[in-house]
């Protein structure tokens, strides 16, 4: 009976279409969180999470809804991460559901991530309930959006709920549709335990907290559980649900979505996507789709103060406990000293990690420009995997270099198609298709090297389309490209941490631009500093940082003491993010400057 009245679903949406606001409304409406506690309670648990240093995220909520038919239903609302870096996790979260509420902004219509999420939901064979949100907006055009949903996605939208999460319109209709249209979970209570891990977080008291969906069977404290892909066993310490605070339960049974703790020390031991079963009564096979997450982007991280290398190692080890996708290994740079080469799922992931290292561990870091992973085919018929441009072998032994490509879907209003194509072409994209979604919107499809996307592609796209373009991409594999390593020499010395990989067609222009850029951001010294960009022994561009003239500040700021002090203070603050390389001081920006040039 309990199983028959369960409904497990996610809310999926393009960024800012109102997913979180709708989730909040649903919590209020079902009295999971009392109106007056709404704000308070959420903030409380956030503080707690902060103190304990676990993820600040509402993962799943169990809530009870009394439907119009008089019956009580148990809903599990499963949150999904919003960013394309974390698509894999979205897909795992959806695998824990039978249905998805698809939120589309009534003014914006369908965007790239709307489609990407719909495809993921379809892959998982979910029932999709379209909701047209923000109908309170003056610019709302629900009928146009309804038509888009039918024409572009091919879903029947005749019963799509018109809602405003902001003013609380249509929420009950959504809940009723969840009851009527989303199927109850199937699965067998008497079969051996099969539970999908779709998310995990690290808690310093309880170890790893696994978010699970029970597909078959039952799990309770004291059971010896086994992870089917890693073959590790643990004794279950606690099971429960989030509502939204954790509530202990005696067991979790088929259809339930909740948490399991078992004194697991690192998230690597129990990865997202793995299947839990019982050691003494194992399921014959694991659930499909277990995949180790592999980093797509690498960069070097170095402490500004070299004596803090050990602190950085400890910080990374701590972060690794709750971030299964983070990878790192020690490396040395002639220029920067001892540090780590770190791998990330994407640039957002990289930013988050850097920010956490600096804020939570009080470290000042120099990070080098992000690089993708290259496959280098050598003349001796072997292949080298290179994630640090400085490790690229000499041109003489290289047969060819392959780089990762992605298929990019870019959605824009008609007027910007030309602009988008120009940018994509300029980023070495191969045009694939132009799909008209309706009278006014187009999906432009390109195959583009991942390295170009990693650079400033999205920023460019946004700024040249007044923010209208939305982007989604997926890896499609490796292709041979005409690439080479560009070295930067300061004062005649090769600074390994500034090396980057460049396409032959752009080498001259990029070399020139980067030399100019470095000239403007590296502070002057008492002596002249020549800057050169070179491929192999061939110098492509050169420039010089002029020597300081004497007493510039004295003349400019001599009269105004406070102003001068301010300047000195500012310089001091800026100093923190500088690295002395030989006789030259290089600021953090210099390492990122390769990202900001054409």
In SS3 terms, 337-348 reads as EEEEEEEECCHH
Decide if residue 470 touches ligand GTP (CB under 6 A).
no
Please state the closest distance from residue 82 (CB atom) to ligand GTP, in A: 4
Choose one: 48-56, 133-141, 384-392, 512-520; the region binding ligand GTP (CB under 6 A): 133-141
d(CA 324, CA 86): 12
Choose one: 26-34, 160-168, 310-318, 462-470; the region binding ligand GTP (CB under 6 A): 160-168
Binding mask 55-84 for ligand GTP (x = CB under 6 A): ---------------------------x--
Q: Which of 92, 30, 104, 99 is nearest to 61 (CA)?
A: 30
| Neighbouring-strand partners of residue 63 | 75
133 marked as binding residue? yes
SS3 352: helix
**140 vs 584, which CB is nearer to ligand GTP?**
140
CB of 106 closer than 8 Å to CB of 80? no
**105 vs 403, which CB is nearer to ligand GTP?**
105
DSSP state of 595: G
Decide if residue 130 touches ligand GTP (CB under 6 A).
no
**170 vs 300, which CB is nearer to ligand GTP?**
170
SS3 443: strand
230 CB-near residues (< 8 Å, 6+ apart): 269, 270, 271, 274
Phi (first) and psi of residue 217, to 5 degrees: 80, -155
- Burial track 148-176 (b if 16+ CB lie within 10 A, e otherwise): bbeebbebebeebbbbbbeeebbbbebbe
d(CA 545, CA 520): 8
Decide if residue 441 touches ligand GTP (CB under 6 A).
no
Instruction: Please select the residue that binds ligand GTP; options are 4, 15, 474, 530, rule is CB under 6 A.
Output: 15
Decide if residue 141 touches ligand GTP (CB under 6 A).
no
CB of 297 closer than 8 Å to CB of 371? yes
141 marked as binding residue? no
Count of residues near ligand GTP by CB under 6 A: 16
**121 vs 581, which CB is nearer to ligand GTP?**
121
Locate 414 and state its tokens. Answer: 């008609």
| Neighbouring-strand partners of residue 74 | 6, 64
Please state the closest distance from residue 169 (CB atom) to ligand GTP, in A: 7
Locate 435 and state its tokens. Answer: 């799909």
SS3 195: strand
Please state the closest distance from residue 483 (CB atom) to ligand GTP, in A: 36
Decide if residue 17 touches ligand GTP (CB under 6 A).
yes
**127 vs 136, which CB is nearer to ligand GTP?**
136
Decide if residue 25 touches ligand GTP (CB under 6 A).
no
Choose one: 8-16, 53-61, 316-324, 397-405; the region binding ligand GTP (CB under 6 A): 8-16
For tokens 């994209």, the residue is 429
Decide if residue 552 touches ligand GTP (CB under 6 A).
no
For tokens 């999906």, the residue is 443
**Which residues contribute to the annotated binding site?**
16-21, 133-136
**Which residues contribute to the annotated binding site for GTP?**
16-21, 133-136
* Residues engaged in binding ligand GTP (CB under 6 A): 13, 15-21, 82, 133-134, 136-137, 164-166
């Amino acid at each position: 009976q309990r199983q028959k009245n369960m409904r497990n679903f996610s809310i999926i949406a393009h960024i800012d279409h109102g997913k979180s606001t709708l989730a909040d409304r649903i919590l209020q409406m079902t009295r999971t969180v009392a109106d007056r506690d709404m704000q308070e309670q959420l903030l409380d648990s956030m503080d707690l999470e902060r103190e304990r240093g676990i993820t600040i995220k509402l993962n799943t909520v169990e809530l009870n809804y009394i439907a119009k038919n008089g019956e009580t239903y148990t809903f599990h609302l499963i949150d999904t991460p919003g960013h394309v870096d974390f698509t894999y996790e979205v897909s795992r979260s959806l695998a824990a559901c039978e249905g998805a509420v698809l939120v589309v902004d009534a003014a914006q219509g369908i965007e790239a991530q709307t489609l990407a999420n719909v495809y993921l939901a379809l892959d998982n064979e979910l029932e999709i309930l379209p909701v047209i949100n923000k109908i309170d907006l003056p610019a709302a055009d629900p009928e146009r959006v309804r038509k888009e949903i039918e024409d572009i996605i091919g879903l029947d939208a005749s019963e799509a709920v018109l809602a405003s999460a902001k003013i609380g319109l249509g929420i009950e209709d959504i809940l009723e549709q969840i009851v009527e249209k989303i199927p109850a979970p199937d699965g067998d209570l008497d079969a051996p335990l099969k539970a999908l891990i779709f998310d995990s977080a690290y808690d310093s008291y309880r170890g790893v907290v696994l978010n699970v969906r029970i597909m078959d069977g039952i799990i309770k404290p004291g059971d010896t559980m086994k992870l089917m892909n890693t073959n590790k066993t643990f004794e279950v310490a606690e099971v429960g649900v989030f509502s939204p605070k954790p509530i202990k339960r005696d067991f979790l049974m088929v259809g339930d979505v909740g948490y399991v703790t078992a004194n697991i020390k690192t998230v690597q031991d129990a990865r997202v996507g793995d299947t839990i079963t019982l050691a003494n009564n194992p399921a014959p096979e694991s659930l499909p789709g277990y995949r180790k997450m592999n980093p797509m982007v690498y960069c070097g991280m170095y402490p500004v103060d070299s004596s803090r290398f050990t602190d950085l190692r400890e910080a990374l080890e701590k972060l690794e406990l709750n971030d299964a996708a983070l990878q790192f290994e020690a490396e040395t740079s002639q220029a920067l000293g001892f540090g780590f080469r770190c791998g990330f799922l994407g640039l957002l992931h990289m930013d988050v990690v850097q920010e956490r290292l600096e804020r939570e561990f009080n470290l000042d870091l120099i990070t080098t420009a992000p690089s993708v992973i290259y496959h280098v085919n050598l003349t001796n018929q072997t292949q080298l995997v290179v994630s640090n441009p400085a490790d690229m072998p000499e041109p003489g032994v290289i047969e060819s270099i392959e780089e990762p490509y992605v298929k990019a879907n870019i959605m824009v209003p008609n007027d910007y198609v030309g602009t988008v194509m120009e940018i994509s072409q300029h980023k070495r994209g191969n045009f694939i298709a132009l799909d008209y979604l309706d009278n006014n919107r187009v999906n432009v499809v390109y195959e583009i090297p991942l390295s170009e996307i990693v650079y400033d592609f999205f920023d460019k796209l946004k700024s040249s389309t007044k923010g209208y373009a939305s982007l989604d991409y997926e890896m499609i594999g490796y292709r041979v490209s005409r690439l080479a390593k560009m070295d930067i020499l300061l004062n005649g010395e090769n600074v390994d941490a500034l090396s980057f990989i460049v396409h032959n067609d752009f080498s001259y222009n990029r070399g020139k631009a980067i030399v100019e850029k470095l000239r403007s951001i590296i502070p002057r010294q008492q002596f002249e500093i020549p800057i050169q960009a070179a491929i192999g022994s061939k110098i492509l561009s050169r420039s010089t940082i002029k020597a300081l003239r004497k007493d510039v500040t004295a003349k400019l700021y001599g009269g105004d003491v406070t102003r001068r002090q301010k300047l000195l203070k500012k310089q001091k603050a800026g100093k923190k993010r500088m690295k002395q390389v030989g006789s030259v001081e290089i600021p953090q920006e210099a390492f990122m400057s390769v990202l900001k040039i054409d």
